[in-house]
Structure 1
């Protein structure tokens, strides 16, 4: 009997072939001893899709340490800005994302509500994967995932999210 070769395809790659994989970044996030910043991936309330987060990356462009609290379903302080830096990763696809990246580059105060998940320390002048979740983090309609950034000295950072969208849970 002949053995036929098999190929394993990771789910984000499969979702990309369908035009359902998206990536985007916040704007630059400026923190200091008196100012914080945040970025969040939001699924609008009546979207009728789930956002399955593949990964997020946190970049610290400065020479100072930055910390990032990861929280879900929190209300951030300040006025949100909608990021225009979001794209489908199947480059010829006409799909547009339902998920939205909001951020505020410099705010006073802290978030309210939500559930604290963990903290990441962002080393100076590095990009760190927040954690690779490969679709296990599911942002349902009306929910969000956010990074809230702090530093003791002036610092500049940026957050990147990658996710795919689907109506069904696998």
Structure 2
């Protein structure tokens, strides 16, 4: 009897092969005792796709501790900036993401509404996975996931999101 090889392909690799896997970063986020910052992955209301978050990563460039809350469906303070640092991960693909990374690098106040689903303490001069959710965090049209940052002293951070987009639920 002939044994045939079996190959397991992880879902992000499959989604990337279809040109549906995207990654991007916020701009530089600056927090202090009186200022906060945030980055948000948003699915526009009439997009007709779901965003399946693979992971998000937190980078703390400073020597101070930064606290990060993962918040779903919140309204952040301040005026958002649209990140231009987003790309499809199948490099020859011309697909454009529907999902948007919005951020505000330095705001007063906190978010309203929404729900905190996790909190992380990010040590100095580190990059860490915030949560590895492997597509289990589904951002449907008109919803969002936000990382809200604060610190007790001046700190500089950045947030990275990776997600794939599909009309189907698996």
| Alpha-carbon distance in structure 1 between the residues aligned to 2:28 and 2:103 | 9
From the two aligned structures, give the one with the greater strand fraction.
2
Q: Are positions 1:138 and 2:138 aligned together?
A: yes
What is the match of residue 116 of structure 1? 116
Q: What's the C-alpha RMSD, in Å, of the aligned pairs?
A: 0.4
* TM-fit CA distance, 1:129: 0.4
Give, in angstroms, the shift of residue 154 of structure 1. Answer: 0.2
Q: Deviations over 1:44-66 (max 9, x none)?
A: 00000000000100000000000
- Give unmatched runs, 5+ long, in structure 1: none
| 1:27 matches 2:27 | yes
How many residue pairs get aligned? The number is: 170
Unaligned runs of 5+ in 2: none
User: Could you say what secondary structure the match of 2:113 adopts?
Assistant: coil
CA distance in 1, matches of 2:99, 2:131: 19
Equivalent-residue separation in structure 2 for 1:145 and 1:163 (angstroms): 12
Displacement of 1:3:
1.3
TM-score by length of 2: 0.99
Q: C-alpha separation between the residues in 2 aligned to 1:95 and 1:137?
A: 22
Match of 1:62 in 2: 62
Q: Which runs of 4+ in 1 moved over 6 A?
A: none
